[in-house]
Amino acid sequence: MIRDPEARTGAFASILLSPITVLYLLFLLAPISYFLAVSFFKYSPAELFIPGFTTENYSRLLFDSYYRNVIYSTFRIAAVVTLISLVFAYALAYFLARMTSGWRSLLMFLIVAPLMTGIIVRTYGWIVLLGSDGLINRLMMLVGLVDSPAALLHREGTVIVALVHIMLPYMVFPIFSSLTSQDPHLVPAASTLGARPLRAFLEVTLPLSRSGIVMGSALVFTLTAGSVVTPQLLGGRDVTMMGQTIYNLVLSTFNWPLGAAVAALLVLTQFLVISLYFRKTRGAH
């Protein structure tokens, strides 16, 4: 008698998926919920926080102009970085999706390689490049653009350039996959029907790559909004984003409840952006 291999599917699934379920419940969901609950606790300099319920942390975020500015600049920087990365990444992804030669895997590797080196290495690269005796300053002095080294670090523009550099690969790959999963006959079909290349691109290729665009944008926006290291090292005191604020509140001021409130706001935004992504991509299929 041949038994059906799929017969006890449900039981096996729960056995195989139990380690990860326990891991996520115990070390991801429970601690994060507790941490978010702390955002409603009272701040106490001696004990970090006192369990209870207060909304004062949130009202401080909304009414204190310092925190309002931090939130505003975080979302502004995240939006600008997402937009610039989208344009550049589309150009790269389109190029990679259209090329057929053996160079493709090398050129793809050159996009992944920076991603693999880690955030700290890439941020350090910008410090070396833009420092007072960095390459950019030397070039500018050589051509006589400036007389003495210009202060390129500690500017919002620098933070944005470095963040675009860090985020670009995260945008290229989703767009690349949505471009390569398109039926390659569609564009020739459109041109057979009389569409010029630009029109075929705007009416066929671009709308069909929407899921990649939305996925990449959601990823880049949320990663940028949560970044700490890059704005801290390149922006210094002049550019403050939410991630840095959490870092400083928790490790320097020990104001856990306020830090948790900033983090809760960050997660809420993340959640909104991702649910937007799911709605948009479902519409695309």
Partner 1 sequence: MHTDIETSPLRPVPVAAQAVGQRPVEPKIDLLPIGRRAYGLLITLLYIFLLLPILIIVFASFSPDQRNTYALSNASLHWYREFFASNNFTSAFQFSLWLALVAAVLATIIGFITAYGIVRFTGRGRNLAQSLVMLPMMVPHILISLSLLLLLTVLPLMELSALIIGHVLICLPFTIAGIIASLEGVDPDLEAAAWTLGAPRWRVLIEVTLPLIAPGVLSALIFAFIISFGDVYIALFLSGPGVTTLPVEIFSYIQWESSPVIAAITTLQIVLIVLFGLFVERLVGLRTAMRL
246, 45 contact by CB (below 8 A): no
Pick one of 7, 65, 133, 237: the residue that binds partner 1 (CB under 8 A).
Answer: 133
Question: Interface with partner 1 by CB under 8 A: which range of 54-62, 73-81, 104-112, 139-147?
Answer: 104-112
Residue placing its CB nearer to partner 1 in the complex, 20 or 146? 20
Pick one of 83, 88, 280, 281: the residue that binds partner 1 (CB under 8 A).
Answer: 88
Residues touching partner 1, count (CB under 8 A): 91
3-state secondary structure the chain: CCCCCCCCHHHHHHHHHHHHHHHHHHHHHHHHHHHHHHCCCEEECCCEEECCCCCHHHHHHHHCHHHHHHHHHHHHHHHHHHHHHHHHHHHHHHHHHHCCCCHHHHHHHHHHHHHHCCHHHHHHHHHHHHCCCCHHHHHHHHCCCCCCCCCCCCCHHHHHHHHHHHHHHHHHHHHHHHHHCCCCCHHHHHHHCCCCHHHHHHHHHHHHCHHHHHHHHHHHHHHHHCCCHHHHHHHCCCCCCHHHHHHHHHHCCCCHHHHHHHHHHHHHHHHHHHHHHHHHHHHHC
Question: Interface with partner 1 by CB under 8 A: which range of 51-59, 66-74, 144-152, 220-228?
Answer: 220-228
Site for partner 1 in 168-207 (CB under 8 A): 168-169, 173, 184-185, 187-188, 191-194, 197-198, 200-201
Residue placing its CB nearer to partner 1 in the complex, 73 or 265? 265
Site for partner 1 in 40-69 (CB under 8 A): 48
Residue placing its CB nearer to partner 1 in the complex, 65 or 100? 100
Residue placing its CB nearer to partner 1 in the complex, 36 or 60? 36
Instruction: Return left, alpha or beta for 97; rule: phi > 0 is left, psi -120 to 50 is alpha, else beta.
Output: alpha
Give the shortest CB-276-to-partner 1 separation in angstroms.
13
Token pair belonging to 51: 């369990």
- Binding flag, residue 121, partner 1 (CB under 8 A): yes
Give the shortest CB-167-to-partner 1 separation in angstroms.
11
Pick one of 124, 210, 254, 281: the residue that binds partner 1 (CB under 8 A).
Answer: 124
Distance CA 67, CA 77 (A): 15
Give the shortest CB-8-to-partner 1 separation in angstroms.
9
- Binding flag, residue 210, partner 1 (CB under 8 A): no
Residue placing its CB nearer to partner 1 in the complex, 122 or 280? 122
Distance CA 139, CA 145 (A): 9
- Binding flag, residue 34, partner 1 (CB under 8 A): yes
Pick one of 233, 241, 258, 265: the residue that binds partner 1 (CB under 8 A).
Answer: 233
Binding mask 134-173 for partner 1 (x = CB under 8 A): xx--------------------------x--x--xx---x
